[in-house]
């Protein structure tokens, strides 16, 4: 699993640029995750519809954090609120929060933490690509 995550990280790093002066974009991150997903499923293309289903799915891992929308809400352009800590969560949609999905390190950190807590496992590259596709296009 660690080798797979390193592979995803390196693929995304190469696609996003190699210098610290280069910020990632939601599109470059989506492309990187899609390229990684296509290794396991040739022809994979990110889907906003699958992303929407993923975000709203009740995973059943945690009673308090059943889905992504539990904390982020259904309007991804609005602030969310963590159900346990009560802390404000900035909007997920890049349209409302231009800093979203501009740092691979932050994206990986939050996917790892949130997927583990809500989904009960690390998210796949395909799920990450679909998630960002939805948040960028439909959220």
At residue 74, the 3 state secondary structure works out as coil
Instruction: State residue 30's pLDDT score.
Output: 96
Per-residue confidence at 80, pLDDT binned at 50, 70, 90?
Answer: very high
Whole-structure pTM value = 0.82
Class of domain 2-137: mainly alpha
Domain boundaries, the chain: 2-137
How confident is the model over 135-139, as a mean pLDDT? Answer: 84
pLDDT exceeds 70 at position 2: no
pLDDT in tens, 16-69: 444 444 679 999 999 999 999 999 999 999 999 999 999 999 998 888 889 999
The burial of 109, by beta-carbon neighbours within 10 Å (0-12 exposed, 13-18 middle, 19 or more buried), is given as exposed
């Amino acid at each position: 699993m660690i080798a797979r995550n390193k592979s995803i990280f390196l693929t995304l790093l190469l696609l996003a640029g190699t210098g610290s002066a280069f910020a990632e974009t939601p599109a470059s991150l989506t492309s990187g995750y899609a390229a990684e997903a296509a290794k396991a499923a040739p022809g994979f293309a990110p889907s906003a519809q699958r992303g929407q289903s993923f975000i709203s799915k009740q995973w059943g891992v945690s009673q308090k954090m059943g889905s992504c929308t539990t904390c982020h809400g259904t309007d991804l352009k609005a602030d969310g609120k963590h159900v346990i800590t009560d802390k404000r969560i900035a909007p997920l949609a890049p349209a409302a929060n231009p800093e979203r999905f501009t740092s691979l390190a932050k994206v990986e950190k939050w996917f790892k933490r949130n997927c583990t807590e809500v989904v009960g496992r690390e998210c796949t590259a395909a799920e990450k690509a679909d998630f960002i596709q939805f948040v960028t296009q439909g959220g």
